[in-house]
């Protein structure tokens, strides 16, 4: 069978262990040579029945699965379900809930929830390059009652521009490029200026609304700053923040429609997921699937971290 193009084809394709293995090997070792995660030796053999590889090197844990060193490590869930779940999540335009994964793939809802979070981790591919050219900046506030928040997050809850008990999110969008969004403590000058400097290349044109905290961002000619005063109009030539506002409305639709109750504690994961979809909006489902899958290696997320028992 050739490369799957639809969810149904993907589920059929990955129901065969040999296809899962071939796919994982292709993603991890582009030269096709499986190497031992302990000693990097190529002297390994596949144990068909156990679906494990065995290294001939003399060291403990000589048997290993293709999940070792990926976001799937330590998970009892099979690669068939994992890879299908990635396809589901990467292709769902408005996000997908753990209940939908649970029903579609026949895993428990709790497992589905954990899978979703691990896959989001693979969607966090942060490019190191700064945004440039025309960059829109804005903040928004995501609801959430303060009493539901973890304590440390509650302390950061916004008291100013957006109202009590909401979480402030800052977004930066390069026109015709990618969008970045992050939870911020407060939408004050210090926070917003730092975020712009960290993410936007010097000399770029920065567009914002009239929020006073953006004042002075063009100091020492670091940026060209154009302001659209929403009290007067929303567009003035190329001066507007419609791109980032479009992203906010997509984000809020996703949060309302699919993720009924998002803990503010987990919000940053949803932001990354939505930013990923936004960036990949022009590709097809296979392309989005491969983008996520190419990030599988080297990212692990422990359950403890996920439920907030340890600091981020
Ligand atoms: Zn070895």
pLDDT tens over the chain, length 312 residues? 567 888 889 999 999 988 999 888 887 887 888 999 889 899 999 998 888 999 999 998 899 999 887 888 888 999 999 999 999 988 887 788 899 999 999 999 999 999 998 888 888 766 668 899 999 999 988 875 544 444 444 445 444 445 556 788 999 999 988 889 988 888 899 999 999 999 999 999 999 999 999 999 999 889 999 999 888 888 888 999 999 998 888 888 777 766 555 666 677 778 888 888 887 777 788 888 887 887 777 555 455 555 554 433
User: What is the reported pLDDT for 311?
Assistant: 36
Spacing, Cα 280 to ligand 1 middle (Å):
38
What pLDDT does residue 147 have?
A: 42
- Of the chain, the end-to-end C-alpha distance in Å amounts to 42
Rounded distance from Cα 14 to ligand 1 centre (Å): 27
52 CA from centroid of ligand 1 (Å):
13
Q: CA-to-CA distance for 208 and 301, rounded, in angstroms?
A: 36
What's residue 218's pLDDT? 93
Distance between Cα 64 and ligand 1 center (Å): 9
Q: What share of the chain is helix, strand, coil (3-state, %, to 5)?
A: 40, 15, 45
User: Cβ distance 208 to 138 under 8 Å?
Assistant: yes
Distance 27 CA to ligand 1 centre (A): 20
pLDDT at position 148 is 47
* pTM for this predicted structure: 0.67
Give the distance (Å) from ligand 1 centre to CA of residue 119: 28
Give residue 297 CA to ligand 1 midpoint distance, Å. Answer: 18
Ligand 1 midpoint to CA 235 (Å): 61
Centroid of ligand 1 to alpha carbon of 269 (angstroms): 35
Could you tell me the distance, in angstroms and rounded to a whole number, from the CA of residue 49 to the centre of ligand 1?
Answer: 20
**How far, in Å, is the centroid of ligand 1 from the Cα of 304?**
29
Token couple for 55:
């290294």
Distance CA 37, CA 209 (A): 51
Ligand 1: distance of its center to the CA of 59 in Å?
Answer: 7
User: How far apart, in whole angstroms, are the C-alpha atoms of residue 33 and residue 50?
Assistant: 20
35 CA to middle of ligand 1, Å? 8
- 53 Cα–ligand 1 center, Å: 10
Query: CA torsion angle for 43, 48, 49, 51 (degrees, to 10)?
Result: 70
């Amino acid at each position: 069978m050739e490369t799957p193009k639809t969810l149904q084809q993907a589920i059929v394709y990955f129901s065969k262990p040999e296809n899962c293995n071939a796919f994982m090997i292709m993603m991890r070792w582009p030269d096709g040579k499986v190497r031992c995660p302990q000693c990097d030796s190529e002297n390994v053999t596949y144990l068909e029945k156990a679906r494990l590889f065995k290294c001939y090197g003399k060291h403990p844990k000589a048997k290993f699965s293709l999940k070792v060193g990926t976001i799937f490590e330590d998970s009892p869930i099979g690669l068939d379900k994992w890879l299908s779940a990635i396809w589901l999540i990467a292709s769902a335009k408005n996000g997908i809930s753990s209940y939908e994964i649970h029903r579609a793939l026949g895993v428990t809802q709790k497992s589905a929830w954990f899978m979703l979070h691990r896959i989001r981790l693979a969607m966090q591919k942060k490019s190191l390059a700064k945004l440039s050219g025309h960059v829109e900046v804005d903040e928004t506030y995501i609801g959430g009652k303060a009493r539901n928040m973890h304590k440390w997050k509650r302390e950061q809850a916004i008291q100013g521009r957006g109202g009590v008990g909401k979480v402030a999110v800052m977004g930066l969008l390069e026109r015709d490029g990618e969008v970045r969004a992050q939870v911020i403590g407060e939408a004050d000058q210090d926070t917003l200026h730092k975020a712009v400097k960290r993410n936007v290349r010097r000399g770029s044109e920065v567009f914002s609304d009239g929020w006073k905290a953006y004042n002075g961002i063009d100091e020492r000619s670091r940026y060209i700053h154009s302001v659209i005063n929403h009290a007067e109009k929303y567009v003035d030539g190329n001066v507007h923040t419609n791109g980032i506002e479009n992203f906010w409305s997509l984000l809020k639709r996703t949060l309302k429609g699919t993720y009924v109750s998002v803990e503010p504690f987990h919000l940053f994961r949803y932001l990354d997921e939505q930013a990923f979809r936004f960036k990949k909006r022009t590709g097809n489902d296979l392309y989005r699937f491969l983008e996520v899958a190419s990030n599988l290696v080297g990212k692990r997320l422990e359950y403890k971290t996920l439920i907030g028992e340890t600091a981020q």
